[in-house]
Amino acid sequence: MSEKQKSQPINKQKTTIGKKLHFEASETYKRLRTNLQFVLPLKDGKRCRLIGVTSALAGEGKSTTSINLSYSLAESGKKVLLIEADLRLPTISKLLELRSATGLSDYLIAGDRELLCIKTAKDESNLCILSAGSLPPNPSELLETPRMGELLKLLAEDYDYIIIDLPPINIVADAAIVSKYVDGILMVVRQNYDKCRAVDAAMRSLEYANANVVGFIFNCVGKTHRLGKRYLEYGEYAKMV
């Protein structure tokens, strides 16, 4: 998310997500979708791929990326669940105009599946969203409980892809904690925003957690922000450097 976007009302930010994307941005996400299918092929009889999305710092566009990637996958005929797992500053529900009194955090506290309140996107039948729910005082501890892993294993039976929007890894440990449950982590890096040392610190944290970082999304590329997100490359961290 650019500085201009951050200063805009949330209703104007909605023009950068979902089916409101312009052609170039939409095609970019289709390329990302294709590369994901190659880098995370189905194996061992698994139907579902679980993908976490994070960034080094706040304001890099990870939530926008999570939403648009989810839409792109759903539009290809895949059944997708988008989980708002940023239990500190959730934005996905607001951007998608979803109202839910309960969600992920409420389930992790009580263990009652009725509290999940999974909803279908208004304009895409193949996309479902699990909101963050009530803001808890201890997000990291909740995400680290066995219930999180058990929930993802259960939900994986019903979807082709589960996209998990996570907090910035340099700010809190949540992304590193959840990385053990997913097949791969996508790092969002915003042009002219991250310092190299911030990205390096983020990668070290993920390395310590034995996370499988499958790629980087280079955000706000070029002379204008009009191009939206651009797929940079998939491969090892050393290749990016």
Could you report the per-residue pLDDT of 199-211, keeping only the tens digit for each? 899 999 999 999 9
Neighbours of 240 (CB within 10 A): 17
pLDDT digits (tens, 9 = 90+) for 19-46: 878 888 888 899 999 999 888 887 767 7
In a domain, 241, yes or no: no
Q: What is the pTM of this model?
A: 0.85
In a domain, 202, yes or no: yes
Report residue 17's pLDDT band, with 50, 70 and 90 as the boundaries.
confident
Which CATH number fits the domain that encloses residue 200? Answer: 3.40.50.300
pLDDT digits (tens, 9 = 90+) for 53-99: 999 999 888 999 999 999 999 999 999 999 999 999 999 999 998 98
In a domain, 240, yes or no: no
Residue 220: give the domain boundaries. 3-234
Site of tokens 């729910």 = 133
Q: Are 51 and 183 in contact (CB under 8 A)?
A: yes
In a domain, 50, yes or no: yes
Six token digits for residue 77: 């005929």
Our CA angle for 208, 189, 82, nearest 5°, is: 80
Report residue 221's pLDDT band, with 50, 70 and 90 as the boundaries.
low
Instruction: Using alpha carbons, select from 41, 57, 58, 24 the residue that is nearest to residue 202.
Output: 57
In a domain, 99, yes or no: yes
- Whole-angstrom Cα distance, residue 219 to residue 235? 17
Report residue 15's pLDDT band, with 50, 70 and 90 as the boundaries.
low
pLDDT value of position 20: 78
pLDDT digits (tens, 9 = 90+) for 122-136: 999 999 999 999 999
pLDDT value of position 13: 52
Q: How many domains would you assign to the chain? A: 1
pLDDT value of position 129: 98
Six token digits for residue 101: 């009194």
- Whole-angstrom Cα distance, residue 211 to residue 8? 34
